[in-house]
Structure 1
Amino acid sequence: MARLLIVEDDETIGSHLESRLRLHDHEVVWRRSGRGAIREATLASFDLVLLDLGLPDLDGIEVCGRIRAVQPGCVLVIVTARDTEMDVVVGLEAGADDYVSKPFGFAELLARIRAHLRRGAPPPARPARFAVGDLVVDTAARRCFAADREVTLRAKEFDLLARLAGQAGVAVSREELMADVWDENWFGSTKTLDVHVAALRRKLAEAADETTIIPHIVTLRGHGYRLDVPSG
């Protein structure tokens, strides 16, 4: 049994999620406001939080960051009718692990919840340290460096970069990345992969300067991605 927190002000959606998730043997707490959710998150631990961004009292992005601060180990999934990539990126950078767009089917949502709850610590990569140009990915310490500067990455960003760096210069399919970084039984949209790639690209670009050789992530249309080994 997992302990879930639903943050949703819509009575119909909230009550539906609460009753359906309880039928699947989850312990569910439902809160209708951002302040109520933050208060609940400070009082008890949760395995997963479903957070609607369109709340009546606080902006959902702010709520996301504040819940992440007090629940660093939980899975945080934002539920949003905001479908622009920038809104999703901001939500992920505020601390979310994934997002689901409204309207959504319950079967897809349940499969995503199960996939997140199944996740465990990723197996140690071999070797434990990858160097691609001036980029170093230390999987044992879970740290990333561009030359002598540390690049701060969120958990899934690090896992994704480590997966690509482990086969630098090799094309990796979307299916492989979703199975290795998220879950082999992932169900539904894989746009979360694209959003994490976009965030990684931005952070790697910010870490680069004229003296460092930093690889970049190439999109392979219809297939996946490749971490390009920089020349020199």
Structure 2
Amino acid sequence: MDVVAYIRVSTGKQEASGLGLEAQLDYIQTAANQQGWNIVATYSDTISGSVAPEERPQMALALSHGLPIVAAKLDRFSRDVEHMAGLMKRVQVKVATMPTADNFQLHLFAALAEQERTFIRQRVKDALEALQARADNGCVESVAKIERRTEALQKGRKGNVLVMSEVKAEKVKEHQAKLAPFVMAALYKGASTLQALADVLNAQALFTSRGGEWSPTTVRRLMLALDVTFKKA
């Protein structure tokens, strides 16, 4: 059976370091060998699991194959029951760590995962409220803990934004480079307008870096990035 592999990490820092990527690939490849799956393509998103699968750029490309999609673990798809239900309506979902599970079983596991996430959030919330209460009552150590946590969160947000921006820019460049031969071939064959070139790319199911269809505006940006122009009459 032909399948598409899907990998997801939450931050650009994790992707840049390879943290989690190799492990996910190993899980998927092991399951594929055991189940006789043929992996025809692999897609990887660097994005929070809170984003619906259909709204992720690389997942959109994975869905375009119309084949079963395999992830290493269920939470690589989503921890949200509603998201999982929506995804399973569109495509057959496979999980490497439980390759024989059907949609009903996967739905149950997703429900349990969502419940556990709710419990964890509540425990963290209760712990932070207790810490804040001690700080309000004059506990010097609690005040220091809150200050350190706030500082760490601020640094983390800034660092993640920078790393994710760099990773995103690099992936866009790689995607544009892969499209270059198709653009040059279309120009050679006589495509002479932005819309004509967009039609050629769309007809070949060559999506934008965000997984969408081409328009004159996105084609213009691509041509500028590739430094190519239409042939003069």
Q: Same fold (TM over 0.5)?
A: no
**Which TM class, normalised by the smaller chain length?**
under 0.3
Q: TM-score, normalised by structure 1?
A: 0.27
Q: TM-score, normalised by structure 2?
A: 0.27
> Which of the pair has more CA radius of gyration?
2
Name the structure with the higher strand share: 1
RCO greater where, 1 or 2, for CA within 8 Å and sep 6 or more?
2
